[in-house]
Every structure is written in C-alpha cells, then in structure tokens.
Amino acid sequence: MWAKWLLGQDASGNPAIRVRFSGVTCRTCPVRSFCTKSKTEPRELTFLPQVQHIALQTRRQTQQTPEWKATYNQRAGIESTHSQGIRRSGLRQSRYIGLKKTHMMQVFIACALNLVRLDAWLNDIPLAQTRSSRFKQLRSQLFEK
C-alpha cells in the first residue's frame, strides 16, 4: 500500500483529508530529501475539502487584483495608528466599565495620538524607519563593503 487516506482535522480543528505515505515506500524514495525533513517518519499531506480548497484558491486569486490591493492599502495605513494606540495608551483593554465610558476613553486616546503626531510634525521629527531583521542588517553590512 502506497498511502493511507484518512478523514480528520487540521491543526485548527477544521475538517481535512490527511494522506500518510507508507514508511517503507517513503524511506526508500530517492527524492525523499525534497519531500520531507523528517529522518524517520514518512511524508504526510493535509488537504482541505474540495469546497474549501476552491474558496481558498478563489480568494488568493482575488488578492492579486489591483482593486483588492488598493482596498488593503487602506487597512495597512491604519495598522500603524492601531499599533501606536496599543503601545502608548493601552488601547487593547478598557479601563472602564460600560460602553459610554469605553467610547470616551477611545476618543481621548485618538485625540492624544493626534497631538503626539502633530507635535512630531511641528518639530520636524522624522517617521521611524521600518525595522529590519538581524539577517537583513548583516547582509547589508557584508555587501556594502
């Protein structure tokens, strides 16, 4: 037997189809190193049910269109503001009980962030540079010389 097909779940608990190859077949395969990193266990694949797979592929194709990218850029622009609110002001959790007080806290945090950004703009403080990984920093040091 080459492989065993099992109905099961993926790591998130969603329905999935798992295929586990025979250990004997997998271990003697000449291209095993291209297929799996495991030294002893055979290759195992996980597939989504067909309806979910088609939905995923359709969504991925949609994400390649200019219209979707333009829409996503709006979200990307707010991410830094959201991050700043969380880091500076504890925006993730409300200090108050009740919707009205929580909303007031969020309005005050938004005003405070606007004031901080206005102060930075008036004092010509440049925007922070995007952080780069240690590996990228090392690569740039090696190739600049």
pLDDT (tens digit, 9 = 90+) per residue, 67-103?
999 888 888 778 888 888 898 888 889 899 999 999 9
> Running DSSP on this structure, what letter comes out for residue 106?
H
Q: How far apart are CA 119 and CA 121, in angstroms?
A: 5
Q: Kindly state the tokens that stand for 48.
A: 């989504």
Report pLDDT for 62. Answer: 94
Q: How far apart are CA 31 and CA 23, in angstroms?
A: 14
13-40 pLDDT tens trace: 888 888 888 888 888 888 888 888 888 8
Residue 118 has pLDDT above 70, yes or no: yes
Q: How far apart are CA 17 and CA 53, in angstroms?
A: 11
